[in-house]
């Protein structure tokens, strides 16, 4: 989750992008890529023994359309399919080397016009014509100590550079429209270490199954039953709450509460990264994983609290690689169901206590910082599902809930979220690597949080100075086009009702243009 800062590139760079997207003969759109901070593993292909492995989501997403176009030799291939795969990176990545070197760059331009707004406060979405741009570039490096063995170790080091700002400085929306930006414009403009982790595979059987190679998993074969261990600096959405239809801001959706579960306040600094340890067990059609990670010292802070006994985020997830509708559809259609739970311990404030201080005349307005205490607890649950329906159509959904008693501390201000949507590839119009996606998400907060905002309290994202409460409802669409090799372009838009849960403001429409390149 990169941060906001002044755009180091003049916005004139958008003109050639727009011209490229609108040139006759080129469809406007985009495809799959990276997350508020990076790639994410997901379901993979099935070997002869029926086992499935998880692959980096950006590879799976890129492979999806390619296989739809026709991969006679690959999993999921159809009779009469075209035998050659299109190149989806600027240069190929060898399968038989122990090292991995790749990169990506993602640029998002967004704009919105005037909307109904009788008032606005410190953290409001601005009622004015706005244009904002962001850019994120990542260098992925990896080295495999023992290639494709039953016991494998990958060393992963990634560097990232991020810039630009979101609309209204990424304030005023629980479902912010650009997941490539964050809310801290004071951070260094130089490259930073995004990931520095050790990934170990401990096989429990000699039977091996194929795995797509990528920057977070370098092996091309892994044991059917195995433990996987990750330790170091990482982002938790690399491993938890992964969804091949809606987890990628670089080639799919861009809204915070669509690419991630908005009610999952996952441990991270303001850029989206933390130091963590994850233990995972993988079997033929199911996986279970547990992770413990460092929390920031303050809400949306860049510094982590290194005392895990005092502050930590613990996460559990069960994944079944069978879709909810597997019995109604062709059982060979890919699908998955994931159940997530988490508990955060951190130096957090209490919404009800903050409101009571204000009503008792102790403070001029509610202030969540005044009620912060060490050892405060926030917990929640999530459901994540995806289902392939036809060769072109995939559906997905999420549900999330948290107790919303203590302050939203890391990701966004959401206590409950309901999401459904899908994507459709362009094979019917001979553009198999193009994709169109549509998703609807409805976000909510609980009564104490509502009262806190109503009486003028400020969160790290929200605060109009008043609140007439209603659910924040968001509809996003995109068309993503594969232009050439690793170059993609996208157009899209987002309609938001009740921005910041305020029925007195909005609706607002945000237009999006995106360019992405994979190296």
Q: Is 439 within 8 Å of 419 (Cβ atoms)?
A: yes
Distances (CA, A) of 391 to 47, 79, 259, 323: 19, 13, 23, 15
Residue from 508, 340, 366 nearest 451 by CA? 366
Decide if pLDDT at 412 tops 60: yes
What pLDDT score was predicted for residue 103? 97
Render pLDDT for 102-147 as a digit per residue (tens, 0 to 9). Answer: 999 999 999 999 999 999 999 999 999 999 999 999 999 999 998 7
Residue 2 domain flag? no
**Backbone Cα Rg of the chain:** 22
Structure token digits, residue 373: 């205490």
What pLDDT score was predicted for residue 504? 94
Decide if pLDDT at 47 tops 50: no
Q: Which residue shows structure tokens 């739809």?
A: 68
Residue 488 domain flag? yes
The reported pTM is: 0.84
Structure token digits, residue 511: 């237009």
Decide if pLDDT at 71 tops 70: no
Render pLDDT for 470-503 as a digit per residue (tens, 0 to 9). Answer: 999 999 999 999 999 999 999 999 999 999 999 9
Cβ count near 390 (within 10 Å): 13
Rounded mean pLDDT, 51-55: 40
Residue 208, C-beta contacts closer than 8 angstroms, at least 6 positions apart: 148, 150, 221, 222, 223, 224
Distances (CA, A) of 199 to 146, 233, 436: 12, 11, 34
Decide if pLDDT at 30 tops 70: no
Decide if pLDDT at 450 tops 50: yes
Name beta bridge partners: 190.
Answer: none
Residue 90 domain flag? no
What pLDDT score was predicted for residue 46? 34
Q: Which domain holds residue 161?
A: 11-79+105-518
Q: Is 31 within 8 Å of 62 (Cβ atoms)?
A: yes
Q: Is 416 within 8 Å of 441 (Cβ atoms)?
A: no
Torsion of CA 31, 35, 41, 43, to 10 degrees: -50
Say how far apart CA 197 and CA 406 lie, in whole Å. Answer: 31
* 242: Cα separation from own chain's centroid: 8
Structure token digits, residue 226: 């195995």
Cβ count near 472 (within 10 Å): 28
Cβ count near 361 (within 10 Å): 7
Q: 61-74: buried (b, 16+ CB within 10 Å) or exposed (e) per residue?
A: bbbbbbbbbbbeeb
Residue 5 domain flag? no
Decide if pLDDT at 332 tops 90: no
Q: Which residue shows structure tokens 């159809």?
A: 78
Q: Is 314 within 8 Å of 292 (Cβ atoms)?
A: yes
Decide if pLDDT at 64 tops 60: no
Percent helix, strand, coil in the chain, to 5, is 10, 40, 45
User: With bands split at pLDDT 50, 70 and 90, how would you rate the model's confidence at 32?
Assistant: very low
The torsion angles phi and psi of 139, rounded to 5 degrees, stand at -110, 120
What pLDDT score was predicted for residue 502? 97
Say how far apart CA 301 and CA 396 lie, in whole Å. Answer: 32
Distances (CA, A) of 221 to 136, 151, 238, 292: 31, 11, 20, 27
Residue 91 domain flag? no
By DSSP bridging, strand 208-210 and strand 221-223 are antiparallel
Say how far apart CA 479 and CA 62 lie, in whole Å. Answer: 15
Decide if pLDDT at 463 tops 90: yes
Poorest-pLDDT segment among 23-32, 93-102, 312-321, 405-414 = 23-32
Render pLDDT for 273-309 as a digit per residue (tens, 0 to 9). Answer: 999 999 999 999 999 999 999 999 999 999 999 999 9
Consecutive H or E run containing 495: strand 487-497
Looking at residue 122, which CATH number applies to its domain? 2.40.160.10
Residue 21, C-beta contacts closer than 8 angstroms, at least 6 positions apart: 28, 481, 489, 490, 491, 513
Question: What total of structural domains would you count in the chain?
Answer: 1
């Amino acid at each position: 989750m990169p941060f906001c800062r002044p755009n180091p590139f003049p916005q004139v760079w958008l003109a050639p992008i727009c011209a490229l997207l609108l040139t006759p003969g080129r469809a406007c759109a985009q495809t799959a890529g990276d997350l508020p901070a990076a790639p994410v593993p997901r379901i993979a292909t099935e070997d002869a023994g029926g086992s499935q492995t998880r692959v980096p989501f950006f590879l799976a997403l890129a492979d999806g359309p390619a296989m739809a176009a026709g991969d006679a030799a690959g999993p999921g291939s159809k009779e009469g399919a075209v035998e050659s795969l299109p190149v989806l990176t600027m240069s190929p990545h060898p399968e038989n080397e122990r090292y991995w070197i790749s990169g990506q760059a993602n640029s998002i331009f967004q704009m919105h016009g005037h909307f109904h707004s009788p008032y606005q406060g410190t953290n409001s979405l601005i009622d004015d014509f706005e244009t904002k741009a962001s850019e994120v570039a990542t260098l992925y490096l990896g080295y495999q100590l023992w290639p494709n063995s039953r016991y494998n170790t990958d060393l992963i080091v990634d560097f990232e550079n991020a810039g630009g700002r979101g609309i209204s400085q990424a304030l005023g929306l629980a479902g912010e429209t650009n997941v490539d930006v964050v809310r801290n414009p004071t951070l260094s403009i130089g490259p930073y270490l995004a990931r520095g982790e050790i990934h170990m595979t401990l096989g429990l059987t000699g039977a091996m199954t194929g795995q797509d190679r990528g920057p977070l998993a370098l092996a091309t074969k892994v044991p059917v039953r195995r433990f996987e261990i990750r330790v170091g600096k990482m982002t938790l959405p690399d491993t938890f709450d992964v969804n091949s239809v809606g987890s990628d801001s670089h080639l799919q959706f861009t809204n915070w509460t669509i690419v991630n579960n908005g009610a999952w306040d996952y441990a991270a600094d303001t850029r989206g990264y933390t130091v963590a340890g994850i233990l995972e067990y993988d079997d033929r059609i199911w996986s279970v994983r547990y992770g413990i990670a460092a929390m920031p010292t303050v809400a949306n802070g860049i510094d982590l609290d290194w005392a895990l006994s005092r502050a930590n985020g613990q996460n559990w997830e069960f994944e079944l690689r069978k879709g909810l509708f597997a019995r109604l559809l062709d059982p060979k259609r890919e699908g998955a169901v994931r159940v997530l739970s988490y508990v955060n311990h951190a130096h957090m404030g209490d919404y009800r206590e903050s409101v009571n201080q204000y009503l008792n005349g102790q403070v001029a307005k509610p202030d969540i910082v005044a009620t912060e205490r060490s050892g405060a607890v926030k917990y929640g649950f999530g459901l994540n599902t995806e289902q392939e329906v036809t060769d072109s159509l995939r559906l997905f959904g999420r549900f999330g809930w948290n107790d919303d008693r203590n302050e939203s501390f890391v990701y966004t201000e959401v206590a409950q979220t309901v999401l459904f949507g899908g994507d459709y590839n362009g094979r019917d119009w001979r553009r198999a690597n193009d994709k169109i996606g549509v998703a609807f998400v409805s976000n909510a907060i609980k009564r104490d949080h509502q009262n806190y905002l109503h009486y003028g309290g400020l969160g790290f994202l929200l605060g109009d100075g008043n609140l007439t409460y209603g659910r924040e409802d968001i509809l996003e669409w995109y068309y993503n086009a594969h232009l050439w090799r690793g170059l993609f372009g996208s157009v899209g838009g987002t309609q938001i009702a009740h921005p910041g849960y305020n029925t007195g403001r909005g609706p607002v429409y945000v237009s999006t243009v995106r360019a992405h390149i994979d190296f």
